Amino acid sequence: MDMQRGRIGLMAAALVGLVVGGAQAQVTTEKSASILVFPKVVSDGTRDTVIQITNTSNSMVHAHCFYVNGALTFPELPAGPINPPLWIEIDFDIWLTKQQPTHWVVSQGRLVNAADAPCSNNPANYSCNDAGIDPGRVPPVVEYFTGELKCIEVDPSGAPLSGNHLKGEATTTTFNVCNPITEECVLEPGTSCTPGGTDCDSSIQDVAKYNALGVIGNENNDGDPVLCLGGEPTEDCPNGAEYDACPQFWIANHFAQGAPEPAIDDDAEVNTTWTIVPCTQNFETQNPERVTIFIETWNEFEQAFSSFATVTCWDELALDEINEVTFDYQTLGTTFAQSRLRPSSQTRSGFMMVGSEAHVYPGNNITQTADVNYHIEGERSGPDLITIPFDQVGPQ
């Protein structure tokens, strides 16, 4: 009898799921959402990141956030079985009053201090980094952090909520210092330097910005610790998709590696980097998710090339790291290329990504960067699961 009732419930839920699923949208970079993913958050001595998050509603909003450090255990050494990503997560809560924007510098975090001086014209004070209603105690990241930030809208008890009230941006500032790993100036590639020396022109700075990727929540969110992104009802996801699915395809319009970049000068070049994080993440078991990505690249002559990339937990991949040949200007034969990326059929997780284009002027080797939000097509059929430790969901 109980089994029968369970079957009926599951079938009804499946139908409900179909109905709700029919109205699914996709991951967005322009609408308020219930989960914000900042795939590229870096604070490693050469770069720092400012996070901006805003509540777009007229009521207070709470969010549970995770920093995930995807840095290698030994950052100065190549990745490998004995040098895996750290996959160390720390979490914290923020709450925003109606329509409140907030921000913090990830290397500094944000402390709660009602006495922070506001900006003012008289007396002149325009340095007011901490002014405003503090969103909670935001911890600083560790000294070498290369990873992601994920913020999930929750109710006052801490249970996930499909409010769709959050939007965000990340601003990455790069300093032209000596990279201790490559011993090259960060913004003057090819210029060798001594760490701590005076070889790099410190007056060169670079700022780039991208919109956080938003995952829109659906009405059937049961508030449990397993967040279901897309998919049909399953044992883990009895209500089906609690959030919109991860994309099936990411479409990136980009330069071929080494192609001339005429916006600055015909001699300039562009180096494109993709930062990728899996959609499925288990913060309870801390098992790093591995995604194999199939990439089909079209040149301007309608010719297609293919390659693969594998990402565990988090990675920032230059195109020539993925494949030295496929993305090369000499191979592609055209300046512009269009790459379509999808999870391979053997991979159980989708992925999220942002791009970064470093434009290098060979006259003086100076680099300036523009971050890119890529295009999305279709949605994955299977659910991606974000699992929050159960004791972080509910009253503390």
What part of residues 346-365 is at the interface with other proteins (CB under 8 A)? 357, 359, 361, 363-364
Does the protein bind other proteins through residue 97 (CB under 8 A)? yes
Largest CA distance in the chain: 79
- Residue 10, interface with other proteins (CB under 8 A)? no
Separation of alpha carbons 190 and 208, rounded Å: 21
Cβ of residue 182: shortest distance to other proteins, in angstroms? 18
Q: Which one, of 144, 156, 170, lies nearest residue 70 by Cα?
A: 144
| Least CB distance to other proteins at residue 390 (A) | 30
Distance (Å, whole) CA 69 – CA 144: 9
SS3 content of the chain, % helix, strand, coil (to 5): 10, 45, 45
Nearer to other proteins, 25 or 72 (CB): 25
Nearest to residue 209, comparing CAs of 170, 254, 175, 253?
170
Among positions 72, 79, 111, 264, the unique one binding other proteins when judged by CB under 8 A: 264
Which residue's CB is nearer to other proteins, number 159 or number 337?
337
- Figure out which of the listed residues 59, 73, 83, 99 binds other proteins, where binding follows CB under 8 A: 99
* Residue 381 near other proteins by CB under 8 A: no
C-beta of 155: minimal distance to other proteins in Å?
Answer: 20
Q: Which of 197, 222, 286, 381 binds other proteins (CB under 8 A)?
A: 197
Q: How far apart are CA 219 and CA 20, in angstroms?
A: 8
Q: How far is residue 63's CA from residue 36's CA, in Å, rounded to a whole number?
A: 10
> Residue 181 interacts with other proteins (CB under 8 A)?
no
Distance CA 275, CA 309 (A): 12
Which lies closer to other proteins via its Cβ, residue 85 or residue 163? 163
**Residue 243 found at the interface with other proteins (CB under 8 A):** no
Judged by CB under 8 A, does residue 222 bind other proteins?
no
The least distance separating other proteins from the CB of residue 238, rounded to whole angstroms, comes to: 15
Q: Which of 115, 124, 346, 396 binds other proteins (CB under 8 A)?
A: 124
The interface mask with other proteins, positions 24-53, x = CB under 8 A, is xxxxxxxxx---------------x-x-x-
CA 116 to each of CA 113, 119, 349: distance values in angstroms, whole numbers, following the listed order:
6, 10, 43
Minimum separation from the CB atom of position 187 to other proteins (A):
10
Assigned token pair, 333: 């034969």
Q: In 70-109, which ranges are E strands?
A: 88-96, 101-105
Q: Does 201 bind other proteins (CB under 8 A)?
A: yes
For 141, the 3-state DSSP assignment is: coil
Closest to 195 in 3D by CA, of 175, 178, 219, 213: 178
Asked if 62 touches other proteins (CB under 8 A), the answer is: no
**Closest distance of CB 165 from other proteins, Å:** 11
58 contributes a contact to other proteins by CB under 8 A: no
151 binds other proteins (CB under 8 A): no
Shortest Cβ 394–other proteins spacing (Å): 27
Alpha-helical runs (H) found in the chain: 2-22, 319-322, 329-332
Contact of 386 with 152, CB cutoff 8 Å? yes
- Out of 45, 91, 93, 100, name the contact with other proteins by CB under 8 A: 100
Interactions with other proteins, residue window 75-94 (CB under 8 A): none
Q: Rule CB under 8 A: say whether 22 interacts with other proteins.
A: yes
Long-range CB pairs of 181-190 (<8 Å, 24+ gap) are: 181/75, 181/76, 186/46, 186/47, 186/367, 187/366, 187/367, 187/368, 188/364, 188/365, 188/366, 188/367, 189/271, 189/360, 189/365, 189/367, 190/365
Closer residue to other proteins in complex, CB, 89/320 = 320
Does 153 engage in binding with other proteins (CB under 8 A)?
no
Nearest to 253 by CA among 372, 378, 369: 372
CA 67/CA 211 separation, integer angstroms: 17
DSSP lists the bridge partners of residue 279 as none
Among 83, 157, 253, 381, binds other proteins (CB under 8 A): 253
- The residues in 285-344 that bind other proteins, with binding defined as CB under 8 A, are 298-304, 334-338, 340
**Smallest distance from other proteins to CB 171, Å:** 7
188 in contact with other proteins (CB under 8 A):
no
